[in-house]
Amino acid sequence: MEDSRFLLACRRMPTDRTSVWLMRQAGRYLPEYRALRERYHLLDLCRHPELAAEVTLQPLRRFPLDAAIVFADILWPLAALGIGVSFEAGEGPVVATIRSPHDVNRLPEPDESAFRSTGEAIRLVRRELPRSVAVIGFAGAPFTVASYLLEGGSSRTYLATKRFLLRHRAAWERLLDRLTDLTVRYLALQVSSGADAVQLFDSWAGALPPDLYRSAVLPWTRRIVRQVRALGVPVIVFSTGTSGFLDLVAETEADVIGVDWRIDLGRAWQAIGDRAIQGNLDPAWLLAPREELRKAVREILARAGGRPGHIFNLGHGILPETEPDAVAVLIDEVHAWSARTQAE
């Protein structure tokens, strides 16, 4: 993968232009994805490697992206613990809820056969793509997955999660131990299947204050990062709402810190120190007039200043209302403007 622009950026090495991929680049904004969803349930797409690979490759057929991210769901590996997950139209995921320390103690040893389909999907994708295009595996970080288990689904306040953490600290740590072990196994399978890098989504870490993040989240996330990095691949940690404690997020020891749009890229880079950075255009800019979108892209690139180690991405996933043409404009502007700037 010496010619992979994305992997060079992960290691803060010079590239001919800025690397770009987008969270949820395979998803509901693409008509070909919507056509598949008319025929298959979301979990069917995760369950069948050929379908997951097809969805993963759809945006790569349209756009000159520097990386593909395997299609799966953040809660998919919970099947290995025998935990049921369903998706209600317009409501998001519904998860079998953990309500007591006893529920944590009853969790079984993971059955890795439950998520082998993701590994096979990665093998299929890796065979289809040139080596210059990296394949990214991913998983949910323990805090974010735990929040789904404790809330029973999505939440605005995360009160059930915080209540459990504060009242049952020993059980909380046992739960994160179990999820950490599951996540390491899941990501190791993805790496052995051909993933060139992995991303940990700690999407809801910003629900916590810095002191609780430091003591009740960071040690487990860092354990995953260390064990996966030991496999020889870069690790990205992405979170939202953590602008006030990005220095702590950097203590995960991830190679790349993904940041949302709530902070200036330059300030974020200063906070994380000597690490690569990923981000951080507000996804709403893809709904703006095209020239305004180009300007917003150039502003992000200007803040990066051409320094090695910037991977252009959004500050969260692509919105379903996005027109595919807007994505094409974004990618073209990232590549063209950064190539011109670096040639000067």
CATH code of the domain containing 54: 3.20.20.210
pLDDT of the chain, 344 residues: tens digit per residue:
557 999 999 999 999 999 999 999 999 999 999 999 999 998 899 999 999 999 999 999 999 999 999 999 999 999 899 888 887 665 678 787 899 999 999 999 999 898 899 999 999 999 999 999 999 999 999 999 999 999 988 888 999 999 999 999 999 999 999 999 999 999 999 999 999 999 999 999 999 999 999 999 999 999 999 999 999 999 999 999 999 999 999 999 999 999 999 999 999 999 999 999 999 999 999 999 999 999 999 999 999 999 999 999 999 999 999 999 999 999 999 999 999 887 66
Q: Would you say 121 and 54 are in contact if contact means Cβ atoms under 8 Å apart? A: no
Question: Edge-to-edge strand order for the sheet containing 197-202?
Answer: 19-20, 310-314, 276-281, 256-258, 235-239, 197-202, 134-140, 67-69
Q: Would you say 182 and 228 are in contact if contact means Cβ atoms under 8 Å apart? A: no
Nearest Cα to Cα of residue 91 among 43, 140, 31, 153: 153
Q: Which two tokens stand for residue 18?
A: 């800025």
Residue appearing with tokens 């991303």: 199
SS3 of 73, please?
Answer: coil
- Structural domain for 62, as ranges: 5-343
| DSSP notation for 276-293 | EEEEEE-GGGGGS-HHHH
Burial of 100 (0-12, 13-18, 19+ CB in 10 A): exposed
* Close Cβ partners of 304 (under 8 Å, ≥ 6 residues apart): 18, 265, 266, 269, 277, 310
Catalytic residues: 24, 28, 37, 73, 148
Q: Which two tokens stand for residue 143?
A: 């805090």
Interatomic CA distance for residues 172 and 176, integer angstroms: 6
Give 332's Cβ-side CA count (13 Å radius).
11
Interatomic CA distance for residues 106 and 100, integer angstroms: 10
The confidence score (pLDDT) of residue 2 equals: 57
SS3 of 109, please?
Answer: coil
Nearest Cα to Cα of residue 257 among 274, 236, 281: 236
SS3 of 135, please?
Answer: strand
Interatomic CA distance for residues 310 and 301, integer angstroms: 9
Interatomic CA distance for residues 208 and 210, integer angstroms: 6
Q: How many domains does the chain have?
A: 1
Give 76's Cβ-side CA count (13 Å radius).
26
State yes or no: cis peptide before 105, omega within 30 of 0: no
